[in-house]
Chain A
Amino acid sequence: MLKRSAAAGRRRRTTPYVLLAPGLLWLLLFFVAPLAIMFVMSLREGTLATGFELTWNFAVYPESISEFSEHFIRSFWYAGVATAIALFIAYPLAYAIAFRAGKWKNALLFAVIAPFFTTYLIRTLAWTTILDDASPVADAFRFLGIIPEDGRILQTTGAVIMGITYNFLPFMILPIYASLERIDKGLIEAAKDLYASSRQAFLRVTLPLSTPGIVAGVLLMFIPSVGDFINATFLGGPSQFMIGNVIQNRYLNVTDYPTAAALSFILMTMILIAVIVYIRFAGTESIMEAEDGGPERPDGGEPASRRPEVPEPSPPAPSHASAMSGRPEGAA
């Protein structure tokens, strides 16, 4: 460790607060405060014409839940199905990119995030082109009997779930890829050296070590999916509308602010509960690790749990070590 003067030590103690203050203040003013104001808004009664009076109308909460329970259930159902489908698409793809892609790795990662380079609305509208009644896809579906002769793909639950899956899929792929990529290949090798079959090595080494990525991916995908209404708007119809449609409509068209505010809070609370239950179920350890790396260790090392050290055999160590890390010996 370095010797530091007293002045430098003092500066070191105040530096973090100076660095944090502006950003956190912005978040307090424009994230936390608005939520508080919205909460108060939900307890008001009135109309845009007469003004909204604060009547502490807590009844708005049970009323909103019962009135829009259908939309809430639909939102969680759609988001859950889309997340499950996305996991089945994402894991093998992330695995292929992390372990099999070789020199194509960067190109494939690029392909994964490429959809993000086009505007969300436009790529959702592109699906309306792809799934249009006159499109080859719709013809193929009719030919295969998946939909009836006069059936459509658009305006169905399937189309909406497909759209949600598509739009948030990279959120699932990237964390899983990151956790797979971080796995020390030596551990998988070690498992195989110890006579584990490929399947055993995968189930007992690779999969457990990639759980933080799966947990993070599921959260990152599920949360925006529940609140989404773009896919329901363009790929579905009123019978596919989700709670996001209701909130946006109540706020911007009906100007029933109290109900819209209450619905926003209920949505947030429900997601929070779902997340907490999920974290309990999935294990908190992996979440904490994914969310907060903590300050860097003084020696610059990673937390031990994240990067298991491979014990080093003594004399021929250098060559073995560099072979394992994939770094040619003596590379500067």
Chain B
Amino acid sequence: MEAGTAPSPARAVRFPRLAKVWGWIRHNALNVYAGLAIAYLLIPVAIIILFSFNDTQSRFNFVWNGFTLRHWEQPFLVPELTDAMILSLQLAAASTVVATTLGTMIALALVRHEFIARKTANVLIVLPIATPEVVIGAALLSLFLTYTFIGLGFASLFIAHVMFSISFVVVVVRSRLIGFDRSLEEAAQDLGATPFTTFRTVTLPLIFPGVMAGALLAFALSLDDFVISNFNAGTTLTFPLWIFGAARIGLPPQVNIMATLLFAVTVFAMVLAIWQQRRAERMAAVRPDQEETGLAALASGQRPVAGTER
């Protein structure tokens, strides 16, 4: 860490060795602690992946019986599970598209514009995040029980999933929009681009990583949701709902395979998103005020160190 490059000379001279030893102990204590915390986070993930290779002897997949690839040869052995997975993926895709679009629009409005009732809008966006899932699920079921024309099934699940995803998309996209350099857009408009062209060719490519991050989160939330879906699915079975039903009679290792595949795909999508973001950051780094650090920036009244965010 380059922090600590300029300690005061007096301190450095007075107790160099003691400070070094104390620093070493503290440094490593923190690292060990952090390592244990990381292990706590990752052990269940490792167990999930490991038990997809378990040579199960009964319906139950709780005890390790040795390594086998036989389940991986038949990842889609359980048709109900596969169907539930397909349904979950469809639901997640549909709700992600809608929630990301609506959420990004709200985020743009919140960060870019001044309007009345912004407090109310903010509260409306934060509330679903601050409400326990069980309450959201129960409330939505009350709605669907009262207005039965929607019917419990894919439609009600879609409505619910879009609803709980929007707020998260807003939060993620908004955090990426803050600190976004407006001068590129202004330059485009000064050069005669229409607002739509500006949005399509400048704004969207720059905020795309943020939008992607929001979409990824929405997709993951939808695929993962059990509580709200459990209230509003009727007889439709999503992946988590199938697991819940099957957990009592023993889960086939195919569940672990599905989970492992999902994990792998998500990791891949993450890496892709990070790569995209790096690219966008490189794009954003090419901007006029970059050269004007220090004196010149002070002279022109800008912040002395441009682009130090993140």
Contact = CB atoms under 8 A, between A and B. Distances in A.
Q: Are chains A and B native binding partners rather than an unrelated pairing? A: yes
A87 B129 CA distance: 20
A324 B305 CA distance: 10
Nearest to A22: B102
Interface string B105-119: 110111111110011
Given A27-B125, A189-B3, A134 B62 contact: yes
B7 interface: yes
Contact of B143 (A12, A37, A195, A244): A37
A332 B2 CA distance: 21
Contact of A117 (B63, B121, B263): B263
A139 to B, nearest CB: 12
B285 interface: yes
B182 to A, nearest CB: 6
Given A100-B30, A121-B247, A193-B6, A31 B103 contact: no
B55 interface: no
Contact of A129 (B47, B160, B298): B47
B48 to A, nearest CB: 5
Interface string A290-323: 0111011000111000000100100101100111
A119 B240 contact: yes
Nearest to A94: B34
A58 interface: no
Contacts of B6: 189, 193
Contact of B304 (A19, A122, A169, A312): A312
Interface stretch (A64-72, A141-149, A207-215, A227-235): A227-235
A218 interface: no
Given A134-B63, A295-B110, A114 B41 contact: yes
Interface residues of A, number: 114
Interface in B168-205: 170, 174, 177-183, 186, 189-190, 195
Contacts of B41: 111-112, 114-115, 166, 169-170
Contacts of B286: 332
Most central of A16, A37, A219 by chain B CB within 10 Å: A16
B220 A261 contact: no
Contact of B294 (A228, A317, A332): A317
Contact of A332 (B27, B181, B285): B285
B112 A296 contact: yes
Interface range, B side = 35 or more
B139 A37 contact: yes
B243 interface: yes
Interface string A9-41: 001100111011011101110111111011001
A37 B52 CA distance: 44
Contact of B34 (A16, A34, A97): A97
B143 A295 contact: no
A8 B303 CA distance: 29
B47 A130 contact: yes
Interface in B53-67: 61-63
B262 interface: yes
A89 B39 CA distance: 12
B177 to A, nearest CB: 8
A27 B285 contact: no
B304 A119 contact: no
Given A93-B34, A125-B243, A295 B308 contact: no
A120 B142 contact: no
B259 A118 contact: yes
Given A128-B62, A326-B2, A38 B139 contact: yes
Contacts of A230: 226-227
Given A35-B139, A188-B3, A251-B138, A114 B128 contact: no
B122 interface: yes
State the 9 A-B residue pairs at the shortest beta-carbon distance, nearest first.
A227-B132, A318-B294, A16-B113, A23-B102, A34-B139, A96-B34, A19-B109, A126-B44, A34-B143
Interface of A: 2, 8, 11-12, 15-17, 19-20, 22-24, 26-28, 30-35, 37-38, 41, 89-90, 92-93, 95-97, 99-100, 102, 106, 108, 110-112, 114-123, 125-130, 132, 134-135, 166, 169-170, 181, 185, 188-189, 192-193, 195, 198, 219-220, 223-224, 226-230, 234, 244, 247-248, 251-252, 257, 260-261, 264-265, 267-268, 271, 275, 291-293, 295-296, 300-302, 309, 312, 315, 317-318, 321-327, 332
10 contacts: A37-B142, A115-B41, A130-B47, A227-B132, A227-B133, A229-B227, A244-B132, A264-B134, A295-B111, A312-B304
